[in-house]
Amino acid sequence: MDEQREHGRGGPSLPWGGPPAWRHGPPWWNRQDDVADIRRLPWLTTLAITLFVQIGSKYAAHSQLDRVDLDIPGRLLLLAGTASLLLRHRFPITVAYFTAGTALLYLGAGYAYGPVLITVAIGCFAAVVAGYRRAAWGAVAMLWAGHLLVAHWLYRWLPPDGDAPRTWGEEIIVAVWVVAIIAVSELARVKREQWMKERAEREQAAKRRADEERLRMARELHDVLAHSISVINVQAGVGLALLDSDPEQARTALTTIKAASKEALGEVRQVLDTLRTPGDAPRAPAPGLDRLPELVQQAASTGLTVDVDTRGRCKKLAPGVDLAAFRIVQEALTNVVRHSGSRHARVLVRYEAAALTLRVDDDGPATGADAGGSGNGLAGMRERAAALNGTIEAGSRPDGGFRVTAVLPTRTASQEDQ
């Protein structure tokens, strides 16, 4: 039964869903890609050009009584030239030479000058815009050379009977047509290339902005999660160690875990809300140095003592600078909690005329244990500083500790609004 189905009248099912007689695919009228390609052809403009050329050539024949009347062969030549314009975007070189050839045959047959040259102009225009300048020049040169040959030598054997050679003044008119065709085509080509370049630049700028936004979001999520999870990790260890011997202290550790996780969830939700609706204002203000006491308190809950020294005259920073300063201090303290054996850190905040200096020191030494981090903390701090044209220096101190120093150019909030 299966073999009969395979070789019988029903035939095997084919990937394109057609009957088995279509061994090489369905016929052209049933191929979806071909139908879509046909629909994309410039039908309307080609039809308008065809009507204009047919009607205009009839009026041109009435005004040029020394030329041959427009008959059926002449109309067929005009139709062949304009019909080829349907393919001017796919085969610009072929169409350019074909329209020039049909126009040359039309004029060589003695028909009147007129809109037939418009067909050549459009064909060569499409070739130039598509980047085939030499082909367009060659087609126009072929038309001009052929016209010179017909008008000054072959006219004796071509209709109309008794025709005289064309004057050089008429040749100048044809030359002006040629120059006009090329000039307009070149201008369109330049405009098109300029438009494509601007479009590519806009797309590149949009892609760059998207990459920058994605990087900014990654930094935000890293800083929020790294700090909060470090606090949770330390407090979870304390709670487990004291669960039996000191339940009250274990309760305090659990309370700290709850507060840190709640804060982390709130900040992550704010970042995700920004991703979903990038044009909306954030529901909560971005953190800044005014929340430095919270960092100190969270660090204290992990057993880390933080001394904060503020120097200079405090001023309201621009939101971008304030957020970067907060995140840098947060990440630096997180690294102390994770990687340092010291239980003491010092934070220096110095306001200067045109810069904000941040310095975070710990006495070390490094624990050398795997803290489970991503290793992107210092890279994120450098990216934040670089985005503001600032600098970050991080490294070991001669006495065995570790130091992070950030210098951020400052602008006040009012200056950023301006």
Query: Phi and psi for 164 in degrees, rounded to 5?
Result: -100, 160
Instruction: Please tell me the predicted confidence (pLDDT) of residue 400.
Output: 79
Instruction: Please tell me the predicted confidence (pLDDT) of residue 119.
Output: 93
Distance CA 134, CA 189 (A): 13
- SS3 of 238, please? helix
Q: Which residues of the chain are under the pLDDT cut of 50?
A: 1-24, 28-29, 370-373, 412-414, 416-418
- Identify which of 116, 101, 104, 105 has the alpha carbon closest to the alpha carbon of residue 58: 116
Instruction: Please tell me the predicted confidence (pLDDT) of residue 356.
Output: 93
Instruction: Please tell me the predicted confidence (pLDDT) of residue 382.
Output: 86
- Identify which of 281, 275, 301, 289 has the alpha carbon closest to the alpha carbon of residue 330: 289
Buried b (16+ CB within 10 A) or exposed e, 346-372: bbebebeeeebbbbbbbbbebeeeeee
Instruction: Please tell me the predicted confidence (pLDDT) of residue 27.
Output: 52
Instruction: Please tell me the predicted confidence (pLDDT) of residue 14.
Output: 44
Domains of the chain: 41-166 (no CATH), 206-417 (3.30.565.10)
Distance CA 40, CA 257 (A): 63
Instruction: Please tell me the predicted confidence (pLDDT) of residue 3.
Output: 44
CA–CA–CA angle 321, 327, 328 (5° rounding): 85
